[in-house]
Amino acid sequence: MAYDRAHTVIRLTGAGDAARGPATRPGGRRRGPGPATRPGGAAYSAGVAPMTLSRRRVVLGGAGVLAYGATAHWSITQRIMRAEVPLYSETVVLAGGGSRLLVPVGQLDVVVPGTRVVAGRPQTGRLLEDEQEWLGTCAPWVRRGLDAPDGLLRSALLDLRALSVGLPVSVAGWSDRWRYAWPRDVSFVASALARAGHPEHAARQLAFLQGVQRPDGWFEARYDITSRRPPDDRVAQLDGSGWALWAASQLATHAPDRAVELLAPVRRLLVRSSRRLLASLDAQTALPPASSDYWELVERTLTLGTAAAVLAGLRSAAQALPFVGEMALADRTRAASDVLARQVRHHFGRHGYPRLLGGSAADAAVTFLVAPIGPTEPDVEVLSAIDRAQTSMLRPAGGLAPGASWKNDGVSWTPETALFAAAWAATGHRSRAQALLGWLGEHRTEAGSFPEKVLHDGRPAAVAPLAWTASLVVIAQHELTRG
């Protein structure tokens, strides 16, 4: 997936570990299964004819090989299903002077409880006041929900603030290899901030995207927030233009009185992104080309993740472009979105909306086809596909994998789980949304941050906090509030 490509260190546990009670932190060595017992032994009789003995040895030996092979396969399968990924931090805290500190696992004394502020420093009091002031200037629906017993909304907003305030743009996380800006993540942060009552903060996210976008409308997979350049050679992604347009539409929707004022400075972003998406559509099929999507693999087949993001971008462009005076371009994007919607329904819908064009395995990107990303009144077939996808992607701890074809490692991913929560909330399925949000709340770190992953036994793992998950929790909570 985007964040752990070639970076995650995984330790595989043996099948017997589950019987030892709650798993401990990664580290140390685990003992695997003992040596296989050779078949035969006392079963052989001294009176057996040589030929019979030979045949029995062949038969029993073959059975032993089969048994050993089956045992080895089972053991490997269990190991794969029980991948171990460490938790990189409990949270990140603001430490004054624009600095941030990762809170090591188990060292909760570093953070003031219930906040994202460093404890025991001369500037702690001032930082706490700033944090409370930021929360106090959120939208009324936020202020009403901050003291909810589950603390979900507060946790998500504090995570977002810790990963964005005072920075040129929000970062995915604060661990080294996540301290970058992914256009997709930035777009979801912008939506969450606009909904939370911080439209200026949201607009700054779009301004950064405008500054790094290529003249031809393409975005790189991610950016260093200081140099504004890609930190590696990951391929550019077409979906970035779609996400930027969706974020602009979200800003206009949730700050309608200020839409012209906030979008005017990013007119170039809207125009370039719209033209890029229009130019990407095939003249014959009206479908976009294969491109890396949020899985960040080099794709040779069009994925639903790309097609649905391009569709969302075109629909959003039709809504956002009039605010910057681009009426003709808005008409073109609206017409293109209507055609693309029919093609996505025809090419993906007839197979149940799988990840790959012509494939069968479900993908979390099916949630891109309904609100809050797609239309507010979804097709019943799409909702059925979302329901099937959730079932096929379920993991042992109760969360979801990115797709049904994702590696069978037992790990739940919190952003994908939150995507389904937001989709159910926005389409009126409150109980389903609340169940997933409740699960996310139960699997926060001890400091209250949302991690990227949850292991097979429920332990939080990898990066914490993660901006994409926090954004989606805010979005889902807002959708539930709007009801």
For the question of whether the overall pTM of this predicted structure is more than 0.75, the answer is yes
Q: pLDDT of 447-460, one tens digit each? A: 999 999 999 999 99
The pLDDT value recorded for residue 79 is 59
Alpha helices in 288-429 (DSSP H): 304-320, 327-347, 380-392, 414-426
Tokens of 26: 């990664």
The pLDDT value recorded for residue 274 is 99
The pLDDT value recorded for residue 378 is 84
- Give me the DSSP letters along 198-225: -HHHHHHHHHHHHHHS-TTS-B-S-B-T
Which residue in this structure is represented by tokens 């032993």? 64
User: Distance (Å, rounded) from C-alpha 446 to C-alpha 111?
Assistant: 11
Q: Which positions ≥6 away from 280 have C-beta within 8 Å?
A: 238, 288, 289, 310
| Regions of the chain short of the pLDDT cut 70 | 1-80
Q: Which positions ≥6 away from 133 have C-beta within 8 Å?
A: none
User: Distance (Å, rounded) from C-alpha 4 to C-alpha 402?
Assistant: 13
CB 217 within 8 A of CB 291: no
Cα dist from 316 to 136, 236, 309, 312, 425, whole Å: 30, 21, 10, 6, 20
Q: pLDDT of 334-383, one tens digit each? A: 999 999 999 999 999 999 999 999 999 999 999 999 999 999 888 999 99
The pLDDT value recorded for residue 4 is 52
The pLDDT value recorded for residue 6 is 35
The pLDDT value recorded for residue 2 is 54
The pLDDT value recorded for residue 81 is 78
Angle ∠(284,355,450) on CA atoms, nearest 5: 135
What domains are there in the chain, each with its CATH number? 91-482 (1.50.10.10)
CB 383 within 8 A of CB 427: yes
